């Protein structure tokens, strides 16, 4: 009888320990993930007030409550302040509402369009990839086929249908692993490229001629 009681006590003790571990594990898995804005960027299509045609824009978020806005191939480069509270990015010039990893609305829908909240990739999202699609040349409706090839050593080549190659073997610089800029031909050509929903948002601006290419390209 004494052995039976001892066995029963040991069994109950083991069961209680298992219950405690199970409870702790359950608590850990239900803890909400803390959203860190610096691990994300917002990108999409930007129509500058007064402009005739759209471009690419990107907001990246820094740890000092500043964001970095890049647009029109990098022609626009500012650092507006921002806050993030309960799914709302309040940036000096615009507000984005986000939920479930998506931008759901903005207070400036005619200026900021096709908006995407993207988590910064762990590695260079451009390296070794090729993208192709239609770009508008300075807003002209009859777009041209554009192909962009990226190498694994941070170089890229742009070819636009019927136009001499825009950039050949040029260097690009990562703002983060999903956003790249490039100033080529002595800084006269500015490029902004961002990855969103598996597509490449591309804009190129020529400071000498004012020519602008913009398009959303698909990976080949």
Going by C-beta distance under 8 Å and a sequence separation of 6 or more, which residues neighbour residue 34? none
* Within a domain: 200: yes
The residue among 194 and 13 whose pLDDT is bigger is 194
Q: Is 127 helix (H, G, I), strand (E, B) or coil?
A: coil
User: How would you label 181-202 residue by residue, b for 16+ Cβ within 10 Å and e otherwise?
Assistant: bbbbeeeebbbbbbbbeebbbb
Residues 22 and 44 in one domain: no
The pLDDT tens digits for 108-146 are 999 999 999 999 999 999 999 999 999 988 776 668 899
Residues 24 and 61 in one domain: no
The model's pTM is 0.81
- Domain holding 91, by residue range, is 37-119
Residue 219 CB-half CA count within 13 A: 12
Residues 5 and 72 in one domain: no
Residue 4 confidence (pLDDT) = 47
With tokens 């917002």, the residue in question is: 42
Residues 6 and 49 in one domain: no
- 1 — pLDDT class (breaks 50, 70, 90): low
Residues 62 and 89 in one domain: yes
Residue 34 confidence (pLDDT) = 84
Residues 74 and 10 in one domain: no
- 212 — pLDDT class (breaks 50, 70, 90): confident
């Amino acid at each position: 009888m004494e052995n039976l009681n001892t066995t029963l006590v040991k069994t109950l003790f083991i069961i209680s320990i298992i219950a405690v571990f199970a409870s702790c594990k359950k608590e850990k898995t239900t803890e909400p993930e803390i959203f860190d804005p610096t691990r994300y960027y917002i990108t999409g299509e930007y129509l500058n007030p007064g402009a005739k045609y759209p471009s690419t824009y990107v907001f990246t978020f820094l740890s000092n409550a500043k964001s970095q806005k890049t647009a029109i191939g990098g022609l626009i480069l500012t650092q507006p302040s921002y806050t993030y509270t309960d799914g709302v990015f309040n940036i000096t010039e615009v507000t984005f509402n986000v939920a479930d990893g998506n931008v759901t609305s903005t207070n400036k829908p005619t200026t900021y369009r096709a908006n995407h909240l993207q988590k910064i990739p762990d590695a260079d999202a451009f390296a070794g990839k090729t993208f192709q699609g239609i770009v508008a040349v300075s807003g002209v409706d009859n777009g041209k086929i554009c192909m962009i090839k990226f190498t694994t050593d941070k170089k890229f080549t742009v070819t636009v249908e019927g136009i001499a190659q825009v950039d050949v073997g040029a260097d690009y610089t990562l703002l983060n692993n999903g956003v790249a800029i490039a100033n080529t031909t002595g800084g006269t050509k500015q490029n902004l490229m961002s990855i969103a929903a598996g597509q490449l948002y591309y804009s190129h601006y020529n400071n000498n001629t004012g020519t602008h290419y913009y398009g959303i390209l698909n990976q080949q």
